[in-house]
Amino acid sequence: MARIFKNPNPLRVKLVGDLKIFNADKSYGIWDKVIKELSRSRKNRRNVNLWKINKNTNEGDVIIVPGKVLGHGEISHKVTIAAFEFSEAVKQKTTNNNVRLMSIYELLNENPKGSNIKIIG
């Protein structure tokens, strides 16, 4: 018998459902990958620190983190980060920088095709 995982976070479940509905007839590959990452079990979810984002991005990049962004490290260039969740440390560190934080919903509304977006996880 298959093991059934019930996600306790209703916001994550709603986001996955909304992405599936949005992507059903369009089939943009990036949103399929985001759905897959957001559907992982808690043990396998992605947590990404600022230093990793800084290391793997260039000036002006738009990235998506299908998980939580943590505040270890610094970002030295302008970047836009869309994520499911941000730690308080990230919010404090990025208030004076050229870093733009947004939700995955906001990114979906701004760039529905998902062009020129990197997934970091």
E strand residue ranges, the chain: 46-49, 61-70, 79-86, 99-103, 117-119
Residues 1-60 have pLDDT tens digits of 555 556 577 888 888 888 888 887 777 788 889 888 988 887 888 899 999 999 999 999
Does the residue 102 lie in any domain? Answer: yes
CA distance linking residue 76 with residue 54, whole number of Å: 7
Show the domain range for 63: 10-119
Does the residue 3 lie in any domain? Answer: no
Does the residue 2 lie in any domain? Answer: no
Does the residue 4 lie in any domain? Answer: no
Residues 59-87 have pLDDT tens digits of 999 999 999 999 999 999 999 999 999 99
Does the residue 17 lie in any domain? Answer: yes
Does the residue 1 lie in any domain? Answer: no
Place of tokens 């919010």: 91
Does the residue 75 lie in any domain? Answer: yes
Does the residue 5 lie in any domain? Answer: no
CA torsion 75→52→82→78, rounded to 10°?
A: 30
Domain count, the chain: 1
CATH of the domain at 76: 3.100.10.10
Is the pLDDT score of 106 beyond 80?
Answer: yes
Question: Which stretch of DSSP H or E encloses residue 53?
Answer: helix 50-56
